[in-house]
Amino acid sequence: MASFKQLKLFVDKELDQCLQNVVRPFTEHVYFPETLIDPLEIEKHHHEVQLQNLSISDTLACATCQTQFADRSEQTLHFKSDWHRFNLKRKLRNQLPLSSEKFEDMEKDISSISGSDSSDDDLSDNEGSSIDGSYNACARNNPKIILTLNDGRHLSFYRCLLHGKRNIPQESQELILTAQRLPLCIHWGIVMAAGGHFAIALFERDKIIQHKTFHKYIIRAKQGSAQTAHDQKSGGKAKSAGANLRRQNMLHLKQKIQELFISLKSEIQRCSLLFVRAPSFNQQLLFGEKNSPLTASDSRIRSIPFATLRPTFNEIKRVYDQLSKMELYPQDYQFQKIEQEKTSTIKTKQPTATRKTAVDSSTDSEDKSDDETEQQSSSKQTVKKQPIIPISTTDRKILPVEDLTTFNELFTACRLNDIQRFDDLISRLRALKTINKSPSIADILNYQTAGSFDTLLHITSERGHLKLIQRLLNEGANPALSNQRGKYPYNLSKNKEAKEVFRLFRNDYPDKYDYNLGQVAPSITMDELERQHAIERERRRQTKKRRTDKQRSDQERQLREQEEEQQRIHFLALSEKEKRTLAVQVNFETNKRDELHLGRCWQCAKKISDEPFTYFDYKFCSTACLKAHRTKSKTTV
């Protein structure tokens, strides 16, 4: 197979000629809208499938695709299939679901939901048609676009050079015209911000005309997140010196970026394309505020479609070099075959049990690459994560069809906490196993579901169904079996009561299972458990009593303060003569002769608890009140 040729924009003149000879997009990277559905049919369909009773389904079925399954593993595989995901997307658009036959017919023209293999004839018939949400899906899954030249060759480059997320072309002809005008966009700008590092560079063709990088300490050590992000998440603000320093540095960083954009305003306005990488909280440095350097509605702004490292000058040059490179493929290049070979190679290298985890983590690698880099640089010590123990599919026991049906019924009963149904199923199993002892009841109870490898004991422990946990342990459910994540039923216990069931059972049957392997806590007797409960109840009672006493004392204190405030206001409203009369009356009413009732301050009306400050017959609580009263008396005279 002939290899491709790599060209660079603004450097190779052959590339400019190739862009002018673009005639149409390549068929495997263009999507056209589906046929519209009559809204009346949608409304009719909604009336036919109205939900009568909202409850947890106890049957193995899919309401979206309207199909039923024989066992749990078949249902799990269906939920991961392209057919189910496709019908979910149609349901969100208020469209009718497709049957499996129609979906298989559609797959003949579309290789998968994330990519298209339509023929050249279909493209020529639909050339110039509008590009809608299906084109958006293609743009998300294919960062590069392939255009076909008039001589049959193909040109591939990054899709972000043609349009951003907010200005997607409505017609394929508009896409071609944008590609032909690409050599005229000679001014580019690249802005990167992550973890307190900031870098910007402005390009004219392949030359750098302006660049600037700087760094501020805003990342929390051993945490990997910015101080402002931590404050927003926790709802409070740490008062340490380091936290205050990081907040101050964040403000300085924002101010410095704004001043830099003001100084480069004329150069930035000339840029035809602005490539920005600012993951998560770093976007507040560039967007969203009153005096923000950039606006999200700017059609020139494009996101960088590949993973990047820490924002530095060298990294910006690498990003520009990668964005400006284009590949020229010969006419007979088999794109579909190459993609299939890459996919098969990845699948052979990836274990079956851990494939789902790898796929889930890879989808977020692009958005989190900068934050992960900052975490590694800000902390020399990394926290070791608990490794996931992969379980080979050969270790799972396969049940006959009859026993698998019984297991599915037991699974539903455990999930719904239906104790009566569980007991009936166990009784039926005992009657059947008197005739056919293979497999045993314990083998059925310890059967691990496909995909997650959860047993019935995992399901009941995670939901906190205490009676079912006790019944399963009595019937032979092994707590030493782990699931796909390496978790044992005891680890998944929802509450403390569920863990106590395991510990009590370990005390009653110490040799029945390998409790240490299942990470079950040491055994405990019922008397010891009752003693712990009694201590806990007494502790809660004392806590409640202290809380009640505190509330009562607070209420009494508030009443005394309110009464005192009312008396103080009343005393202030009295005249000087009335105050003297009241003071004499209170002194005569005092029962203890050695105790002189000092009364209230003549200025602020507070009770005097110590030897008062006096002049003439006036008494005051402080020299400030005495001075204020004397000044007031002079002004009134």
Q: Note the Cα 635 to chain centre separation in Å.
A: 70
Strands 144-149 and 154-158: antiparallel
354-360 contact pairs (CB < 8 A, 24+):
354/388, 354/390, 356/451, 357/388
Virtual torsion, Cα 347, 350, 353, 356, nearest 10 deg: -70
Closest CA to 494 of 523, 474, 469, 517: 469
Max Cα-Cα span within the chain: 120
Would you mind telling me the total number of residues written for the chain in this entry? 637
- Cα–Cα distance measured from residue 448 to residue 454, given in angstroms and rounded to the nearest whole number: 5
Cα–Cα distances in Å, from 16 out to 8, 182, 185, 273, 302?
10, 9, 12, 18, 22
DSSP 3-state of 58 = coil
Q: Active site residue: 66, 173, 227, 603, which one?
A: 227
- What 8-state DSSP symbol labels residue 280? G
- Cα–Cα distance measured from residue 338 to residue 340, given in angstroms and rounded to the nearest whole number: 5
**Tokens encoding 406:** 């019984």
**Tokens encoding 48:** 């036919």
- Cα–Cα distance measured from residue 278 to residue 198, given in angstroms and rounded to the nearest whole number: 9
Task: Determine the Cα angle at 78 with ends 75 and 83, to 5°.
Answer: 155
Task: Determine the Cα angle at 440 with ends 434 and 443, to 5°.
Answer: 160
Task: Determine the Cα angle at 437 with ends 432 and 443, to 5°.
Answer: 100
227 among known catalytic residues: yes
> Do residues 173 and 133 touch, judged by C-beta distance below 8 A?
no
Task: Determine the Cα angle at 526 with ends 522 and 529, to 5°.
Answer: 70
In the sheet where 154-158 sits, what is the strand order? Answer: 5-8, 325-329, 154-158, 144-149, 22-25
Virtual torsion, Cα 607, 611, 616, 619, nearest 10 deg: -10
Strands 273-277 and 187-194: parallel
> Do residues 228 and 289 touch, judged by C-beta distance below 8 A?
no
**Tokens encoding 549:** 């006493």
> Do residues 221 and 305 touch, judged by C-beta distance below 8 A?
no
Contacts for 44 with CB less than 8 Å, ≥ 6 apart: none
Q: Note the Cα 270 to chain centre separation in Å.
A: 38
- Cα–Cα distance measured from residue 211 to residue 563, given in angstroms and rounded to the nearest whole number: 71
H or E segment to which residue 172 belongs: helix 172-180
Q: Note the Cα 294 to chain centre separation in Å.
A: 26
- Cα–Cα distance measured from residue 93 to residue 313, given in angstroms and rounded to the nearest whole number: 45
- Cα–Cα distance measured from residue 221 to residue 9, given in angstroms and rounded to the nearest whole number: 42
- Report helix angle 82-92 to 100-107, nearest 10: 100
Q: Which residues are catalytic?
A: 227
